[in-house]
Structure 1
Amino acid sequence: MKKVVTILGARPQFVKAAVLSRVISKHNFIEEVIVHTGQHYDVNMSAIFFNEMEIPTPKYNLEINGLSHGAMTGQMLEKIEEVLKKEKPEAVLIYGDTNSTLAGALAAKKMNIKVIHVEAGLRSFNMKMPEEINRILTDRISDLLLCPTSMAIENLQKEGFENFDTKIVKCGDIMKDAVTFYGKISKQKSSIISNLQLKANNFVLATIHRQENTNSIENLKAIFKGLETISKQKQVVMPLHPRTKAILDAYNLKYNITTIAPVGYFDMLELLKNCNLVITDSGGLQKEAFFNNKHCIIAREETEWVELVSNGFAKIVGNNTNKMISAFQNFQHFSTNFDMELYGNEVGEKIYTEILNLI
C-alpha cells in the first residue's frame, strides 16, 4: 500500500484534511499518516476539529508553537524530517500557506519525496504577508499543484510554472466539499444559535486575526471602531482569536460587540448560515461566506479570492472604518444571486485521483 504523510497545523487545514481523509479512507488504497505540527494548539483552535469532524488522530504531534516565524519554521523542518525518515512515504500532502505548509514542503523536497500542494496558485501580491512567501516557495518546489480556480492557474502560468517539472491541475476548492457535507448535519451538532440567543439574519459574524491587522494597534482600533458602529444596527458576534484577544487585553481595549471563545466547525457553520453578513480578514471564511450565500466585507487590502469581489459577493475595505460601514450599509439594500459556480464540486475525489496518478 502506498503511503502519504499529511502535514497539518492550522484550523483551515484541519477542515480541508477532513474531506480528503474521508475520501482516502473510503477507497482504502493509500495509507495516510497525519502529522500535527502544533501551530494551532488551543483546544478550540485544534483538538475540537479532530473530534468533531472525525479526522483520524494524528500519529505525530510536534507541539511547535508560540515562536517567531523563523524559529517555528526551522523547528518544524527538523521534526518533520525525522518523521519522514521513519515513515518513508511516497508523497507529502500539504495545504494552504502556513509555516507548517512550507516546512512540510521543504523537508520532503530535500529528501526527494514528492510534494502535493492543495490550494496552489493563490496570490495576494503582498510580499509583506508571511502567507504569501509561504505559498510562493511551496508552489515552486511542489510536484503536483492542485489549484482551486482558473485565476490560480493563470497566476502560475504568468510565473512560468509551465516550464517547471510539475503538474498543474484545476480541481476546485476542497472547502466546498466540507461545507456541503458538514452543512447537512451542523444544525444537529451545534446549539450555538440558541445558546447565544441569536436571531437569524439579525447579527454580523466577524473574525480578525491576521498579522497585518493585529501587529498595528492603529489598524486594529480602526477595524473595531467600524465593528462597534455596525453593532448599533446589528449585533456583531466575534469568535476571538487568541492573538487578537491578547492584544486587546494588553492595551485594555474594550468594544461594545459580542466576543466569544473560538468555536468548532459546526458552530461556525451555524453562525454562517444564520448571520446577516461576514466581516473578516480570513481567506477561508470569505469562501465559506459565499458557500452559505452571505456577503463578505474583507478587512484586508487585497484578497486571493478575487472572483468573490469581481462578482459582487465581497467588498475589500482594509482597515478603513468608513469603508467598512459604507460596505455594510450597501449590502443591506440589495440581494445577490449566489448560484454562480465558482469553486467546483466533488473536489476531494478529483484530488484523490490526481494523488493516485502521481504516486
Structure 2
Amino acid sequence: MTGSQPLVVHITGARPNFPKAAPVIAALAEHPVRQLLVHTGQHYDERMSEVFFRQLGLPEPDVNLGVGSGPHGAQTAATIVGLEELFTAERPDLVVVYGDVNSTVAAALVASKMGIPLAHVEAGLRSFDMTMPEEINRLVTDRLSDLLLVTSPDAIAHLGNEGVHPDKIHLVGNPMIDTLLRHLDALDTAAVADSVGLDRTEPYLVATLHRPGNVDDPADVAELVRAVHAVADQVRVVIPLHPRGRGRLEQAGFMDHDNLLVIDPLGYVEFLGLVRGAAAVVTDSGGVQEETTVMGVPCLTLRPNTERPVTITHGTNQLITRASLPAAVADVLAAGPAEPGTTPVPPLWDGHAGPRIAAVLAASLGV
C-alpha cells in the first residue's frame, strides 16, 4: 500500500461493536484504502473484547487506548483525549464509528471538530427514551455524521424527520448479521451446553440483563429477581452475567434459585451457540434482539421500548415488563419452536451489508 491511498480509521470500544466492524473491515480491504483499527478499551475484560477479535477474524488493533471502565463523563473524556492525539498524528480521511457506545460519540465529537468526515454504521435507530445514555449517543453521532449507514427502513424515517439530507442516508443492511451468518455453521449448541453444565434433554432459556433500567435501582432489582425466579420455577435459566449490575443482583439474592445457572460472559461463538439452542431469550440488550430474529429464537425484551422495532415487525421479538415476564415465558414454552423459515427477516439482512457499506465508503473517498 502507498501513502497516497486514503486512510480510514475504524473506532471500536465495546463488545457490540466488533461483529459490526468485522465485515466492513474485510470488505473495505478489497478497495485501495489504508485502514487503521482503534480499540478504545471501553470494554477491558479479555472475555468482553480480545476473544471477540480472535473469533471474528479481526486484525489486532493498531491502537488500543486502554480507556477502561468508569463513569460516562470520565470514559468519554479519556477517549476524546486519546483520539484527538491520534487523529492529529495520523490525520484520517474518514472515521467510521459503530453503534451507540461512549467510544462512538467521543469519536464523532473529535472527528467533527477536526473537520474529518464521519461515517456512522447503524445510524438512525431511536428508542425515544432520553433516559438511555445510548439514545443520547445516537442522536449526537447522527447529527455530526456525513454518511449515515442504516440497517432498517424505520431508521431512514427517523433521520428524515430530524432533517438529515437524503443524500447522506444509505440503507445497507445489518453488518452484525453478516457476522452471524458467516459463523452459523460453527455454532455448536451441544458443545457449549455441555461446557456450562446444562442437561441437553431439557429446554432452557438464556437471559442477558445489564441495562440501568433493570439493575441500577434497588426496587427494580428486587422486582427483577422475583420475575426471573418465577421464570426459573418453569424452566432452566442460563445467565452469562455482565459485570455491570452483578453486585446488586447478588446482594438481592438473584443467585438463590436451584434452576438458575449463572456463568461468566462467553465468547461470541459460544454465546450464540447457547442462544441458538434456547427455547427463548430474555434480554435488555439491543444486538440480541437482532440475532434472535435471524435465528428464529423467541426473544422477550425486558424494556418499555426498543430502538430496533423491525425485530418486532420482522422477527421474533416482543417487549415485556418484569410483571408480565413469567406469563410471557409460559406462553412461549407452550407454543414451542417456530418452523424454520417461517419468521420474516428484515430487508437486506442477507449477509452482504459489509460489501455495501464498503462501497459507500469507497465512493465517498473517490476510490
Q: Under a length normalisation based on structure 2, what TM-score does the superposition of the two structures give?
A: 0.91
Distance in 1 of aligned mates of 2:94 and 2:224: 42
1:117-156 alignment runs, 5 A limit: 117-156=120-159
Q: 1:85 to 1:255 in 2, by over 3 A?
A: same
SS of the equivalent of 1:315 reads: strand
Q: 1:314 to 1:352 in 2, by over 3 A?
A: same
Letter in 2 for 1:115: L
1:31-180 alignment runs, 5 A limit: 31-162=34-165, 167-180=168-181
Q: 1:67 to 1:16 in 2, by over 3 A?
A: same
In structure 2, the partner of 1:286 is: 289
- Quick check: 57-66 or 246-255, which moved more? 246-255
Q: 2:25 aligns with which of 18, 21, 24?
A: 21
1:273-312 alignment runs, 5 A limit: 273-310=276-313
* Superimposed CA distance per residue, residues 138-174 of structure 1 (whole angstroms, 9 cap, x where no aligned partner): 00010000010000001111111128xx610111111
Distance in 1 of aligned mates of 2:162 and 2:84: 29
- Quick check: 52-61 or 111-120, which moved more? 52-61
Q: Percent identity?
A: 34
Q: Is residue 357 of structure 1 aligned with residue 358 of structure 2?
A: no
Unaligned runs of at least 5 residues, structure 2: none
In structure 2, the partner of 1:341 is: 345
Distance in 1 of aligned mates of 2:223 and 2:312: 22
Deviation at 1:200, TM superposition (A): 6.7
Distance in 2 of aligned mates of 1:146 and 1:294: 27
Distance in 1 of aligned mates of 2:153 and 2:225: 34
* Superimposed CA distance per residue, residues 103-122 of structure 1 (whole angstroms, 9 cap, x where no aligned partner): 01111111111100000000
Q: 1:302 to 1:200 in 2, by over 3 A?
A: farther
* Superimposed CA distance per residue, residues 246-271 of structure 1 (whole angstroms, 9 cap, x where no aligned partner): 32245564332111000000101111
Q: 1:201 to 1:277 in 2, by over 3 A?
A: farther
Q: Which has the higher contact order (CA 8 A, sep 6+)?
A: 2
Deviation at 1:22, TM superposition (A): 2.0
Check conservation: 2:14, 2:49, Cα contact below 8 A: yes
Distance in 1 of aligned mates of 2:359 and 2:315: 33
Check conservation: 1:201, 1:274, Cα contact below 8 A: no
Check conservation: 1:200, 1:275, Cα contact below 8 A: no
SS of the equivalent of 2:238 reads: strand
In structure 2, the partner of 1:248 is: 249
SS of the equivalent of 1:116 reads: strand
Deviation at 1:243, TM superposition (A): 1.3
Distance in 2 of aligned mates of 1:251 and 1:339: 37
* Superimposed CA distance per residue, residues 174-209 of structure 1 (whole angstroms, 9 cap, x where no aligned partner): 111111001122339x93222223427710010001
In structure 2, the partner of 1:263 is: 266
SS of the equivalent of 1:309 reads: helix
Deviation at 1:307, TM superposition (A): 2.4
In structure 1, the partner of 2:221 is: 220
SS of the equivalent of 1:136 reads: helix
SS of the equivalent of 1:161 reads: coil
Distance in 2 of aligned mates of 1:184 and 1:254: 33
* Superimposed CA distance per residue, residues 78-130 of structure 1 (whole angstroms, 9 cap, x where no aligned partner): 11011111111110010010110000111111111110000000000000110
Q: 1:116 to 1:140 in 2, by over 3 A?
A: same
In structure 1, the partner of 2:194 is: 194
Q: Under a length normalisation based on structure 1, what TM-score does the superposition of the two structures give?
A: 0.93
Letter in 2 for 1:354: V
Check conservation: 1:201, 1:276, Cα contact below 8 A: no
Q: 1:293 to 1:347 in 2, by over 3 A?
A: same
Deviation at 1:242, TM superposition (A): 0.6
Distance in 2 of aligned mates of 1:289 and 1:198: 22
* Superimposed CA distance per residue, residues 214-268 of structure 1 (whole angstroms, 9 cap, x where no aligned partner): 2112212222322221112211000000112232245564332111000000101
Pairwise CA RMSD: 1.9
Check conservation: 2:56, 2:179, Cα contact below 8 A: no
Q: 1:171 to 1:91 in 2, by over 3 A?
A: same
Q: 1:250 to 1:63 in 2, by over 3 A?
A: farther
Aligned pair count? Answer: 353
- Quick check: 99-108 or 338-347, which moved more? 338-347
In structure 2, the partner of 1:5 is: 9
Letter in 2 for 1:238: I
Q: 1:312 to 1:332 in 2, by over 3 A?
A: farther
Deviation at 1:66, TM superposition (A): 2.3
